[in-house]
Amino acid sequence: MIFFRRLFLTASKYRYRTVILFTTFYILINALVMRILEPKTFENTFHAIWWILTTMTTVGYGDVYPTTILGRIWSMVIIYTAGIGLFGIVIGMIVDSVSQYKRMKEEGRMTFKGENHYVIIGWTTKSKNTIKELFIGNDNTEIVLIDELEKTPYDHERFLYIQGSPTDEETLRRAKIEKSKAVLLFAPDGIDNPDLADGKTLLTASSIERYDEGTEKNIYTIAEILNEKHVGNFKHVKIDEFILSHESVSNLMAKSAQTKGASHLFTQLLSRKDGDAGSDLWEVEVRSEWKTFGVAYDHLKEKGAQLIADRSDLNILKKLNEPIPKDARLFVICDKNTYQNL
Protein backbone atom coordinates (compact mmCIF):
# COMPACT_ATOMS: atom_id res chain seq x y z
CA MET A 1 0.00 0.00 0.00
CA ILE A 2 2.85 2.38 0.83
CA PHE A 3 4.50 1.39 -2.45
CA PHE A 4 1.42 2.37 -4.49
CA ARG A 5 1.00 5.62 -2.55
CA ARG A 6 4.59 6.66 -3.20
CA LEU A 7 4.27 5.67 -6.84
CA PHE A 8 1.10 7.75 -7.13
CA LEU A 9 2.68 10.83 -5.55
CA THR A 10 5.74 10.52 -7.77
CA ALA A 11 3.69 10.16 -10.95
CA SER A 12 1.53 13.18 -10.10
CA LYS A 13 4.63 15.41 -10.13
CA TYR A 14 5.72 14.42 -13.61
CA ARG A 15 4.60 15.82 -16.93
CA TYR A 16 1.43 14.75 -18.67
CA ARG A 17 3.10 12.24 -20.96
CA THR A 18 4.76 10.45 -18.07
CA VAL A 19 1.53 10.24 -16.09
CA ILE A 20 -0.40 8.88 -19.08
CA LEU A 21 2.36 6.35 -19.77
CA PHE A 22 2.37 5.29 -16.12
CA THR A 23 -1.44 4.97 -16.13
CA THR A 24 -1.32 2.77 -19.24
CA PHE A 25 1.26 0.45 -17.67
CA TYR A 26 -0.71 0.40 -14.43
CA ILE A 27 -3.85 -0.75 -16.23
CA LEU A 28 -2.06 -3.36 -18.36
CA ILE A 29 -0.12 -4.87 -15.45
CA ASN A 30 -3.20 -5.13 -13.25
CA ALA A 31 -5.21 -6.58 -16.14
CA LEU A 32 -2.61 -9.34 -16.50
CA VAL A 33 -2.64 -9.94 -12.73
CA MET A 34 -6.44 -10.28 -12.69
CA ARG A 35 -6.28 -12.72 -15.60
CA ILE A 36 -3.82 -14.84 -13.63
CA LEU A 37 -5.88 -14.67 -10.43
CA GLU A 38 -9.24 -15.29 -12.15
CA PRO A 39 -8.77 -16.85 -15.59
CA LYS A 40 -12.39 -18.07 -15.70
CA THR A 41 -13.85 -14.63 -14.96
CA PHE A 42 -11.63 -12.71 -17.37
CA GLU A 43 -11.49 -14.62 -20.65
CA ASN A 44 -8.90 -12.31 -22.25
CA THR A 45 -6.78 -9.25 -21.47
CA PHE A 46 -9.24 -6.83 -23.09
CA HIS A 47 -12.00 -8.19 -20.83
CA ALA A 48 -9.82 -7.45 -17.80
CA ILE A 49 -8.93 -3.97 -19.07
CA TRP A 50 -12.64 -3.21 -19.55
CA TRP A 51 -13.35 -4.18 -15.96
CA ILE A 52 -10.43 -2.11 -14.59
CA LEU A 53 -11.44 1.02 -16.51
CA THR A 54 -15.08 0.87 -15.42
CA THR A 55 -13.98 0.19 -11.85
CA MET A 56 -11.29 2.89 -11.63
CA THR A 57 -13.71 5.49 -12.99
CA THR A 58 -16.30 4.34 -10.39
CA VAL A 59 -18.81 3.57 -13.16
CA GLY A 60 -19.07 -0.11 -12.20
CA TYR A 61 -21.51 -1.62 -14.71
CA GLY A 62 -21.53 -4.91 -12.80
CA ASP A 63 -21.43 -7.04 -15.96
CA VAL A 64 -18.23 -8.69 -14.68
CA TYR A 65 -16.56 -8.81 -11.27
CA PRO A 66 -14.00 -10.93 -9.37
CA THR A 67 -15.41 -13.93 -7.55
CA THR A 68 -12.43 -15.29 -5.57
CA ILE A 69 -11.15 -13.87 -2.31
CA LEU A 70 -7.69 -13.23 -3.75
CA GLY A 71 -9.21 -11.51 -6.77
CA ARG A 72 -11.37 -9.26 -4.60
CA ILE A 73 -8.44 -8.36 -2.36
CA TRP A 74 -6.41 -7.37 -5.39
CA SER A 75 -9.39 -5.35 -6.68
CA MET A 76 -9.42 -3.32 -3.46
CA VAL A 77 -5.68 -2.73 -3.88
CA ILE A 78 -6.29 -1.45 -7.42
CA ILE A 79 -9.18 0.82 -6.45
CA TYR A 80 -8.18 2.28 -3.10
CA THR A 81 -4.40 2.64 -3.51
CA ALA A 82 -3.81 4.32 -6.85
CA GLY A 83 -6.73 3.61 -9.14
CA ILE A 84 -9.24 6.36 -8.38
CA GLY A 85 -6.59 8.96 -7.60
CA LEU A 86 -4.63 8.16 -10.73
CA PHE A 87 -7.66 8.58 -12.94
CA GLY A 88 -8.45 11.80 -11.11
CA ILE A 89 -5.04 13.14 -12.12
CA VAL A 90 -5.59 12.15 -15.77
CA ILE A 91 -9.02 13.78 -15.87
CA GLY A 92 -7.62 16.85 -14.12
CA MET A 93 -4.83 17.06 -16.69
CA ILE A 94 -7.35 16.94 -19.54
CA VAL A 95 -9.45 19.70 -17.98
CA ASP A 96 -6.35 21.77 -17.25
CA SER A 97 -5.08 21.30 -20.82
CA VAL A 98 -8.36 22.52 -22.29
CA SER A 99 -8.40 25.53 -19.96
CA GLN A 100 -4.78 26.33 -20.71
CA TYR A 101 -5.39 26.04 -24.46
CA LYS A 102 -8.35 28.45 -24.29
CA ARG A 103 -6.37 30.88 -22.14
CA MET A 104 -3.34 30.83 -24.45
CA LYS A 105 -5.54 31.25 -27.53
CA GLU A 106 -7.42 34.15 -25.95
CA GLU A 107 -4.17 35.88 -24.94
CA GLY A 108 -2.55 35.36 -28.34
CA ARG A 109 0.24 33.08 -27.13
CA MET A 110 -0.37 30.27 -29.63
CA THR A 111 1.64 29.40 -32.75
CA PHE A 112 -0.15 28.73 -36.01
CA LYS A 113 0.49 25.21 -37.36
CA GLY A 114 -1.30 25.24 -40.73
CA GLU A 115 -0.63 26.82 -44.12
CA ASN A 116 -2.44 28.52 -47.03
CA HIS A 117 -3.96 30.97 -44.56
CA TYR A 118 -4.31 34.75 -44.54
CA VAL A 119 -2.32 36.93 -42.16
CA ILE A 120 -3.94 40.20 -41.09
CA ILE A 121 -1.67 42.77 -39.48
CA GLY A 122 -3.48 45.38 -37.41
CA TRP A 123 -6.93 45.21 -35.85
CA THR A 124 -9.04 48.03 -37.30
CA THR A 125 -12.61 48.48 -38.50
CA LYS A 126 -11.44 47.74 -42.03
CA SER A 127 -9.51 44.61 -41.09
CA LYS A 128 -12.53 43.34 -39.16
CA ASN A 129 -14.72 43.69 -42.25
CA THR A 130 -12.02 42.05 -44.37
CA ILE A 131 -11.93 39.05 -42.04
CA LYS A 132 -15.70 38.65 -42.33
CA GLU A 133 -15.51 38.80 -46.13
CA LEU A 134 -12.73 36.21 -46.25
CA PHE A 135 -14.74 33.81 -44.11
CA ILE A 136 -17.82 34.25 -46.29
CA GLY A 137 -15.82 33.58 -49.44
CA ASN A 138 -14.51 30.13 -48.44
CA ASP A 139 -15.61 27.67 -45.77
CA ASN A 140 -12.02 26.45 -45.32
CA THR A 141 -10.40 29.86 -44.89
CA GLU A 142 -8.07 30.22 -41.90
CA ILE A 143 -7.00 33.66 -40.68
CA VAL A 144 -4.22 34.78 -38.34
CA LEU A 145 -4.30 38.25 -36.80
CA ILE A 146 -1.15 39.95 -35.51
CA ASP A 147 -1.59 42.83 -33.06
CA GLU A 148 -0.57 43.92 -29.57
CA LEU A 149 -3.99 43.75 -27.90
CA GLU A 150 -4.29 42.09 -24.50
CA LYS A 151 -6.92 39.60 -25.69
CA THR A 152 -8.28 38.33 -28.96
CA PRO A 153 -10.81 40.75 -30.49
CA TYR A 154 -12.57 38.15 -32.63
CA ASP A 155 -14.07 34.74 -31.90
CA HIS A 156 -14.13 32.14 -34.66
CA GLU A 157 -13.02 28.50 -34.86
CA ARG A 158 -10.77 29.23 -37.87
CA PHE A 159 -9.35 32.46 -36.45
CA LEU A 160 -6.13 32.69 -34.42
CA TYR A 161 -4.87 35.80 -32.67
CA ILE A 162 -1.12 36.20 -32.14
CA GLN A 163 -0.01 38.89 -29.72
CA GLY A 164 3.20 40.65 -30.59
CA SER A 165 4.84 43.30 -32.72
CA PRO A 166 4.70 42.64 -36.48
CA THR A 167 8.26 44.00 -36.67
CA ASP A 168 9.46 41.13 -34.47
CA GLU A 169 10.75 38.13 -36.43
CA GLU A 170 9.54 35.70 -33.77
CA THR A 171 5.98 37.05 -34.10
CA LEU A 172 6.09 36.59 -37.88
CA ARG A 173 7.42 33.07 -37.41
CA ARG A 174 4.57 32.20 -35.04
CA ALA A 175 2.11 33.45 -37.67
CA LYS A 176 3.92 31.29 -40.26
CA ILE A 177 3.69 34.05 -42.85
CA GLU A 178 6.00 32.20 -45.26
CA LYS A 179 3.25 29.58 -45.74
CA SER A 180 0.39 32.07 -46.07
CA LYS A 181 -1.59 32.92 -49.19
CA ALA A 182 -1.20 36.62 -48.49
CA VAL A 183 -0.26 39.11 -45.77
CA LEU A 184 -2.57 42.12 -45.43
CA LEU A 185 -1.20 45.26 -43.76
CA PHE A 186 -3.79 47.76 -42.56
CA ALA A 187 -3.13 51.38 -41.71
CA PRO A 188 -3.29 51.75 -37.92
CA ASP A 189 -6.25 53.42 -36.27
CA GLY A 190 -5.68 56.28 -33.87
CA ILE A 191 -2.93 57.97 -35.89
CA ASP A 192 -4.33 61.09 -37.52
CA ASN A 193 -1.16 62.01 -39.39
CA PRO A 194 -1.02 59.99 -42.68
CA ASP A 195 2.78 60.27 -42.75
CA LEU A 196 3.11 58.66 -39.35
CA ALA A 197 0.52 55.98 -40.16
CA ASP A 198 2.18 55.07 -43.44
CA GLY A 199 5.57 55.19 -41.71
CA LYS A 200 4.46 52.50 -39.27
CA THR A 201 3.10 50.39 -42.14
CA LEU A 202 6.38 50.85 -44.03
CA LEU A 203 8.36 49.66 -40.98
CA THR A 204 6.22 46.53 -40.80
CA ALA A 205 6.64 45.95 -44.55
CA SER A 206 10.42 46.23 -44.16
CA SER A 207 10.35 43.63 -41.38
CA ILE A 208 8.36 41.26 -43.60
CA GLU A 209 10.86 41.76 -46.45
CA ARG A 210 13.76 41.01 -44.12
CA TYR A 211 11.97 37.88 -42.90
CA ASP A 212 11.15 36.93 -46.51
CA GLU A 213 14.84 36.90 -47.45
CA GLY A 214 15.34 33.82 -45.27
CA THR A 215 12.49 31.84 -46.84
CA GLU A 216 12.17 29.96 -50.12
CA LYS A 217 8.70 31.26 -50.97
CA ASN A 218 7.88 34.85 -51.87
CA ILE A 219 5.44 36.30 -49.35
CA TYR A 220 2.59 38.03 -51.17
CA THR A 221 1.95 41.32 -49.37
CA ILE A 222 -0.90 43.81 -49.71
CA ALA A 223 -0.69 47.15 -47.91
CA GLU A 224 -3.22 49.88 -47.19
CA ILE A 225 -1.65 53.30 -47.80
CA LEU A 226 -3.16 56.61 -46.76
CA ASN A 227 -1.00 58.98 -48.83
CA GLU A 228 -0.45 58.25 -52.53
CA LYS A 229 2.91 60.07 -52.41
CA HIS A 230 4.29 57.22 -50.29
CA VAL A 231 3.73 54.53 -52.95
CA GLY A 232 7.28 54.95 -54.24
CA ASN A 233 8.70 54.26 -50.78
CA PHE A 234 6.71 51.04 -50.49
CA LYS A 235 7.92 49.76 -53.87
CA HIS A 236 11.42 49.52 -52.44
CA VAL A 237 10.21 46.95 -49.90
CA LYS A 238 8.58 44.72 -52.53
CA ILE A 239 4.93 45.28 -51.65
CA ASP A 240 2.91 43.32 -54.23
CA GLU A 241 -0.27 45.41 -54.11
CA PHE A 242 -1.24 48.81 -52.76
CA ILE A 243 -4.70 49.84 -51.61
CA LEU A 244 -5.00 53.63 -51.47
CA SER A 245 -7.54 54.03 -48.70
CA HIS A 246 -8.83 57.57 -49.23
CA GLU A 247 -8.41 57.49 -53.00
CA SER A 248 -10.61 54.41 -53.38
CA VAL A 249 -13.52 56.17 -51.71
CA SER A 250 -12.98 59.35 -53.74
CA ASN A 251 -12.84 57.46 -57.04
CA LEU A 252 -15.97 55.50 -56.21
CA MET A 253 -17.84 58.70 -55.38
CA ALA A 254 -16.74 60.23 -58.70
CA LYS A 255 -17.82 57.14 -60.67
CA SER A 256 -21.21 57.16 -58.98
CA ALA A 257 -21.70 60.83 -59.80
CA GLN A 258 -20.78 60.32 -63.46
CA THR A 259 -22.63 57.00 -63.88
CA LYS A 260 -25.52 56.72 -61.46
CA GLY A 261 -25.74 53.32 -59.82
CA ALA A 262 -22.10 52.41 -60.53
CA SER A 263 -21.39 52.08 -56.82
CA HIS A 264 -23.87 49.18 -56.59
CA LEU A 265 -21.86 47.23 -59.15
CA PHE A 266 -18.58 47.77 -57.30
CA THR A 267 -20.21 46.95 -53.96
CA GLN A 268 -21.55 43.68 -55.30
CA LEU A 269 -18.10 42.65 -56.51
CA LEU A 270 -16.45 43.72 -53.27
CA SER A 271 -18.96 42.02 -50.95
CA ARG A 272 -20.31 38.48 -50.66
CA LYS A 273 -23.45 39.34 -48.72
CA ASP A 274 -25.62 37.75 -51.41
CA GLY A 275 -24.04 34.35 -50.74
CA ASP A 276 -23.81 31.71 -53.46
CA ALA A 277 -26.38 33.49 -55.67
CA GLY A 278 -24.44 36.77 -55.95
CA SER A 279 -21.87 37.41 -58.67
CA ASP A 280 -18.27 37.70 -57.64
CA LEU A 281 -14.76 37.96 -59.06
CA TRP A 282 -12.86 34.66 -59.33
CA GLU A 283 -9.56 33.47 -60.79
CA VAL A 284 -9.71 30.38 -63.02
CA GLU A 285 -6.89 28.07 -64.07
CA VAL A 286 -5.85 28.20 -67.72
CA ARG A 287 -6.70 24.94 -69.50
CA SER A 288 -4.43 23.36 -72.09
CA GLU A 289 -7.21 23.33 -74.72
CA TRP A 290 -7.59 27.11 -74.48
CA LYS A 291 -5.22 28.18 -77.24
CA THR A 292 -6.57 31.72 -77.53
CA PHE A 293 -8.50 34.15 -75.37
CA GLY A 294 -11.48 33.67 -77.68
CA VAL A 295 -11.64 29.91 -77.03
CA ALA A 296 -11.45 30.53 -73.28
CA TYR A 297 -14.05 33.30 -73.52
CA ASP A 298 -16.57 31.09 -75.40
CA HIS A 299 -16.04 28.08 -73.13
CA LEU A 300 -16.50 30.10 -69.95
CA LYS A 301 -19.53 31.86 -71.40
CA GLU A 302 -21.21 28.49 -72.01
CA LYS A 303 -20.64 27.63 -68.36
CA GLY A 304 -22.20 30.89 -67.19
CA ALA A 305 -19.00 32.82 -66.40
CA GLN A 306 -17.84 36.09 -67.97
CA LEU A 307 -14.12 36.35 -68.74
CA ILE A 308 -13.10 39.95 -68.03
CA ALA A 309 -9.36 40.17 -67.47
CA ASP A 310 -5.89 38.71 -67.73
CA ARG A 311 -4.17 39.98 -64.59
CA SER A 312 -4.81 43.76 -64.67
CA ASP A 313 -5.59 43.85 -68.40
CA LEU A 314 -9.32 44.43 -68.97
CA ASN A 315 -9.11 44.52 -72.80
CA ILE A 316 -9.99 40.86 -73.32
CA LEU A 317 -12.48 41.58 -76.14
CA LYS A 318 -9.66 43.14 -78.18
CA LYS A 319 -7.45 40.08 -77.71
CA LEU A 320 -9.82 37.21 -78.58
CA ASN A 321 -7.60 36.03 -81.46
CA GLU A 322 -4.37 36.26 -79.48
CA PRO A 323 -2.77 33.20 -77.82
CA ILE A 324 -2.93 33.00 -74.04
CA PRO A 325 0.56 33.58 -72.56
CA LYS A 326 2.10 31.11 -70.14
CA ASP A 327 2.03 33.59 -67.26
CA ALA A 328 -1.65 34.49 -67.78
CA ARG A 329 -4.01 34.84 -64.82
CA LEU A 330 -7.61 34.84 -65.97
CA PHE A 331 -10.40 36.44 -63.95
CA VAL A 332 -14.12 35.83 -64.43
CA ILE A 333 -17.37 37.14 -62.96
CA CYS A 334 -19.96 34.57 -61.92
CA ASP A 335 -21.73 33.20 -58.85
CA LYS A 336 -20.09 30.76 -56.45
CA ASN A 337 -21.94 27.67 -57.70
CA THR A 338 -20.91 28.37 -61.30
CA TYR A 339 -17.30 28.87 -60.23
CA GLN A 340 -17.25 25.55 -58.37
CA ASN A 341 -18.53 23.78 -61.49
CA LEU A 342 -15.89 25.24 -63.80
Mean pLDDT across 49-78: 78
- Given its phi and psi angles, is residue 60 left (phi above 0), alpha (psi -120 to 50 degrees) or beta? left
- Residue 261 or residue 106, greater confidence: 106
Return left, alpha or beta for 150; rule: phi > 0 is left, psi -120 to 50 is alpha, else beta. Answer: alpha
Q: How many CA atoms lie within 13 A of 189 on its CB side?
A: 10
Are 269 and 279 within 8 A, CB to CB?
Answer: yes
Helices (H), 60-116: 69-77, 84-106
- Interior/surface letters 151-168, b for 16+ CB within 10 angstroms, e for the rest: ebeeeeeebbbbbbebbe
Every domain of the chain and the residues it spans: 2-106, 118-248, 274-341
The pTM is what?
0.63
The rounded distance, in Å, linking the Cα atoms of 177 and 205 is 12
Look at domain 118-248 and name its CATH class: alpha beta
Q: Which residues contact 301 (CB under 8 A, 6 or more apart)?
A: 307
pLDDT tens, position by position, 131-181: 988 888 778 899 999 999 999 999 999 999 999 999 999 999 999 999 999
Are the C-beta atoms of 189 and 124 separated by less than 8 Å? yes
More confident residue, 235 or 182: 182
Element (H, E) at 126: helix 125-137
Pick the more confident residue, 9 or 287: 287
pLDDT digits (tens, 9 = 90+) for 8-59: 444 444 566 777 777 788 888 888 888 888 888 887 888 888 888 787 776 7
Query: How far is 23 from 8, CA to CA, in rounded Å?
Result: 10
Fold of 2-106: Helix Hairpins (1.10.287)
Most confident listed range (105-119, 210-224, 271-285): 105-119
Among 29-33, 88-92, 256-260, 266-270, the minimum mean pLDDT is found in 256-260
At 90, the amino acid letter reads V
Task: Measure the CA–CA gap between 203 and 205, rounded to whole angstroms.
Answer: 5
